[in-house]
Amino acid sequence: MKMYISNAFSLSMIAPRAHIDVSPLTAEEVAALPLESAIGHADTAKVVGDLLGIDLLANRVNISLNPGDNMVVAQYIGPRLQEGATQLPDGARIEFRLVKVEEVH
């Protein structure tokens, strides 16, 4: 089982005939997980890592989630981030969602 963290999610990431379950997580819950980064931009990885209080490196990879794999999505909500931003702008936030991939029964 893998546990990724990414700032995006696409249906193309999951195996055919899989079921997904999505639920909210707190930053504290996310920080306690054994995460493998799948965040492609260094600035975004720094912002998310700082929010979680962990070192999070950029890691541009293609994700293929199979039943049993999970991914935390760090969903940015707010105005477009400026290039090189290392902090969230006023009024912006990141919400965390756990995406669990399960077999279809």
Task: Kindly state the helix (H) or strand (E) to which residue 95 belongs, with its residue range.
Answer: strand 93-103
> Would you write out the chain's pLDDT as a tens digit for each of its 105 residues?
679 999 999 999 998 888 999 999 999 999 999 999 999 989 889 999 999 999 999 999 999 999 999 999 999 999 887 777 778 888 899 999 999 999 887
pLDDT at 88: 87
SS3 12: helix
Burial annotation 73-103 (CB, 10 A radius, 16+ → b, else e): bbebeeeebeeeeeebeeeeebebebbbbee
Token pair for residue 67? 């039943």
Q: How far is CA 94 from CA 3, 25, 69, in A?
A: 19, 11, 22
How far apart CA 2 and CA 71 sit, in angstroms, is: 8
State the CATH class of domain 3-103.
alpha beta
Task: Give the predicted TM-score (pTM) of the model.
Answer: 0.88
pLDDT at 75: 95
